[in-house]
Structure formats: structure tokens, C-alpha cells
């Protein structure tokens, strides 16, 4: 097969995509004990290359000082409605125009009520009223306050205006009560921001099914056969596709990873479990990406009791597991796209190209276990994309960047 030029995607450097490079995020902080957590969120956003502006209500300054946010973001933290910058632009209009997204967190019952009824009597509410970017609200308050029908009606009103409400967590609150009303952790808030504005939604409306992780084939109640896969590549694909607007289902073998938010995750154990989970969903899927390391063999017999040590050299009889791609891909509909993965230790192109043809795949992502920067458990990968048009070798990249490049390849085919 011939080598052809590497295609470029919608981002000039996918190693930066999935971050918030070039995005402006407005954080509105109100009077709640949870305000201190937003310092961590601001730091996370800055590390993701976002330009972060913070507006605080006067009550919020009782819980955390504006200088904290100024130190973290490099921008002036605003409180006074009549503050102006050096160009004499009215700050609330200037920041509202710059923002790609606004998040009010923690959002007190007071500010939620003001937002719902168009009251603009301070810097934060005035700016939000002038903001045309997506607005997210993360309520944080006592459980009884949160469940009060007035607050719930105000939240429904905000939703009717297009404001996205991040549901509060349930747990122990600062007031000593236990229940709903706890602001989610900064990592969760960051994920909501990332999902909203990190990437162009070029996969919107597409149903994507991806497998990840290692399968386990039981020998007895104690032992099993498996491999070294950590699931990082498949999880990166699931996250990248979600960020690009796809409806993603992740069928996951055993990993130590936290599933991406906003992705339906289906846990499985064995190759047969994975086959059943994938095959049940295949007909409803537009794109199938099999990134899991599925065991090729299983013990022929399962021992109901732990196998004890014996004299001599034992032998283990093996049987083939189901070939998931080999079973499903030949029957795919013309509009379905199926992508496989191939890990080799020799003859990478020849072996992978043969799998592409034999299994009726549209694309195969191949890598060599012996290549520096590739392999199991790493945060990087070195892959070669192979389809009917030829071979495209990619340089070492983060696994999230590889995921985006694979998705670029798929969208170029199906569009």
C-alpha cells in the first residue's frame, strides 16, 4: 500500500485540542462557602490555556479575597458595577462580549432569583444580562433552600431561557445537613465547560460506539487470562468524540480509569461479554471503533474450584474467543463506519492491511508495541492509519491527540 500525505483536521495542533486554548471563560462567584473551590477551577482553566475573568458579588468577598483570583488568572477580579478599564469601556459589556462561556459557581439562591427575573443590580448580574455566550449555573446552598419550590421554579425559568443548570451533588453540607445542594467538585465543573466549548461539534447527531480496555478470561475463581491494556486509548477516543458532539457509548473492559463524563459507559469482563454488549448496540450505531484489547483465547474449561499445585508440568487447553469485528463488520450497512485497532510486534503494515481487508473495515489504526512512545500504559501513542486509500504514518502524539486525528479521518470519510 502506498504512503500518502497526512490529513490535517480542524485544529492546527491536536496536542492542544481538548484544552481551552484561545477560549475566554467568565466565572461568576457568589456568596457561598463553596466559593473557595472556584480557585482550583480557575487554576485548571488557566492550565488549559483559557483566558479567565472572575466577577464576584460583594457577599462572595466574605469567603475568598479577589486577590486570590487575580493571582491565579492574571486578570483583574471585578466586583464594582462602575469599574472601568483603561480604554474607558464599560467592563460588564466588554467582558460579556469576550466570553465564550459564563459559569456562575457557586450560584446562591439570591443570584439565581435575580437571573431568572432579569434583575441587574451588581457587576455580575449586569454582565450576565449582557452576555450572549452560553451560561451555566451551579447551585450551591442548604438542602431546604435548594428544594424550596421558589428556587426550583427559578431554576426552571432559567432553563426555559437556555441556561444550563448543573445539578448539585448530594452530601454533607457546611451547615451540618446532609442532602442535595453541594456544589460539584472543580473537576466536574471543568468537564462541563470543556464539553460546551472545547471543540467544534462536527460529530453532532452521530451515534458512536467505542470499546476500550482489556478483557479477562476466567481460569478458575482466582485466576484469569488478560493483557497489559490500560484502556487509555479507547477512553481518549470516547472523550474526544463527546467533546465533538457525538452521542457516545463506551463498552469498557477492566481499567483503573474514570469514565469520561457525558458518555454512557457499559462495563464488561470477558470477550463474550464485550461481544454481546457491542452486538446489541451495533445496529443503532453510526460509527464503531474497536479500541479494546480483546483476548484471542480463553481457557477451554473453567474450574469451579481453585486449581491446586500438583507435581509435574501442567498444561492449559485454550479455545478461541469470538472475533467481534470479524463477526459484525462484514454485515455492516453501507452508511456505517467501522474502525479497528491493530497492535503488532512485526510486519505492522502487512499484518494490519490484511486485517483491514479480511474483516471488511473502513479504517484500521495500527501501532507497533516496540516503537518508542507507543504501547500499553503510556500517555502517548505512535500510530499508522490504513484504509483503502493508503497508509498515513503519524508522529508521536498524546493519546487524546491521536483520538482526534482518528476522528478527523472518520469525518473526512463519512462527510
The catalytic residue positions are 175
Alpha-carbon dihedral angle through residues 154, 158, 164, 167, given to the nearest 10 degrees: 0
Q: How far is residue 48's CA from residue 364's CA, in Å, rounded to a whole number?
A: 31
Q: How far is residue 294's CA from residue 212's CA, in Å, rounded to a whole number?
A: 9
Q: Which three cell numbers stand for residue 306?
A: 481453585
> Which 3 state secondary structure label does DSSP give 339?
strand
CB contact at 8 A, 348 and 366: yes
Ramachandran sector of residue 193 (left: φ over 0; alpha: ψ -120 to 50; beta: rest): alpha
Q: Which three cell numbers stand for residue 318?
A: 485454550
Where helices occur in 205-346 by DSSP H, the ranges are 232-243, 271-282, 324-328
Residue 328, Cβ neighbours under 10 Å: how many?
A: 22
Q: How far is residue 69's CA from residue 76's CA, in Å, rounded to a whole number?
A: 8
Q: How far is residue 404's CA from residue 244's CA, in Å, rounded to a whole number?
A: 9
Q: How far is residue 201's CA from residue 241's CA, in Å, rounded to a whole number?
A: 9
Residue 122, Cβ neighbours under 10 Å: how many?
A: 20
> Which 3 state secondary structure label does DSSP give 21?
coil
Length of the chain: 415
**Bridging pattern class, strands 24-29 and 101-107:** parallel
Residue 230, Cβ neighbours under 10 Å: how many?
A: 18
**Residue 41 DSSP class:** H
Which residue's entry shows cell 486485517?
Answer: 355
Amino acid at each position: 500500500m502506498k504512503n500518502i500525505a497526512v490529513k490535517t483536521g480542524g485544529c492546527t495542533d491536536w496536542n492542544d485540542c481538548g484544552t481551552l486554548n484561545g477560549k475566554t471563560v467568565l466565572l461568576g462567584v457568589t456568596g457561598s462557602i463553596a466559593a473557595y473551590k472556584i480557585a482550583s477551577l480557575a487554576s485548571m482553566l488557566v492550565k488549559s490555556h483559557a483566558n479567565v475573568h472572575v466577577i464576584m458579588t460583594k457577599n462572595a468577598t466574605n469567603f475568598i479575597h479577589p486577590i486570590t483570583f487575580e493571582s491565579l488568572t492574571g486578570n483583574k477580579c471585578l466586583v464594582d458595577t462602575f469599574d472601568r478599564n483603561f480604554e474607558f469601556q464599560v467592563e460588564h459589556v466588554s467582558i460579556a462580549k469576550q466570553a465564550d462561556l459564563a459559569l456562575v459557581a457557586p450560584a446562591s439562591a439570591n443570584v439565581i432569583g435575580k437571573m431568572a427575573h432579569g434583575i441587574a443590580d451588581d457587576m455580575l448580574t449586569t454582565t450576565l444580562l449582557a452576555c450572549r455566550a452560553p451560561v451555566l449555573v451551579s447551585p450551591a446552598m442548604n438542602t431546604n433552600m435548594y428544594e424550596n419550590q421558589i428556587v426550583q421554579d427559578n431554576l426552571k425559568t432559567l432553563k426555559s431561557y437556555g441556561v444550563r443548570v448543573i445539578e448539585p451533588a448530594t452530601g454533607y453540607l457546611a451547615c451540618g445537613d446532609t442532602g442535595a445542594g453541594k456544589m460539584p467538585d472543580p473537576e466536574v465543573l471543568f468537564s462541563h465547560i470543556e464539553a460546551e466549548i472545547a471543540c467544534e461539534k462536527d460529530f453532532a447527531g452521530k451515534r458512536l460506539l467505542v470499546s476500550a480496555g482489556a478483557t479477562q478470561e476466567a481460569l478458575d475463581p482466582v485466576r484469569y487470562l488478560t493483557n497489559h491494556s490500560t484502556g487509555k486509548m479507547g477512553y481518549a477516543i470516547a472523550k474526544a468524540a463527546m467533546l465533538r458532539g457525538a452521542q457516545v457509548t463506551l463498552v469498557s473492559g477492566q481499567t483503573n480509569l474514570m469514565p469520561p463524563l457525558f458518555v454512557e459507559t457499559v462495563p464488561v469482563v470477558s470477550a463474550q461479554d464485550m461481544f454481546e454488549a457491542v452486538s446489541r448496540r451495533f445496529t443503532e450505531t453510526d460509527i464503531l471503533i474497536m479500541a479494546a484489547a480483546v483476548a484471542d483465547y480463553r481457557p477451554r474449561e473453567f474450574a469451579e474450584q481453585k486449581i491446586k499445585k500438583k507435581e509435574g508440568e501442567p498444561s492449559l487447553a485454550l479455545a478461541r474467543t469470538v472475533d467481534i469485528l470479524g463477526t459484525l463488520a462484514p454485515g455492516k450497512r453501507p452508511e456505517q463506519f467501522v474502525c479497528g485497532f491493530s497492535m503488532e510486534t512485526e510486519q505492522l503494515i502487512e499484518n494490519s492491511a490484511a486485517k483491514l481487508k479480511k474483516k471488511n473495515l473502513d479504517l484500521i489504526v495500527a501501532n507497533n508495541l516496540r516503537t518508542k512512545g507507543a504501547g500499553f500504559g503510556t500517555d502517548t501513542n505512535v500510530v499508522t492509519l490504513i484504509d483503502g486509500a493508503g497508509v498515513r504514518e503519524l508522529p508521536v502524539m498524546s493519546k487524546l491527540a491521536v483520538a482526534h486525528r482518528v476522528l478527523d479521518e472518520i469525518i473526512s470519510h463519512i462527510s
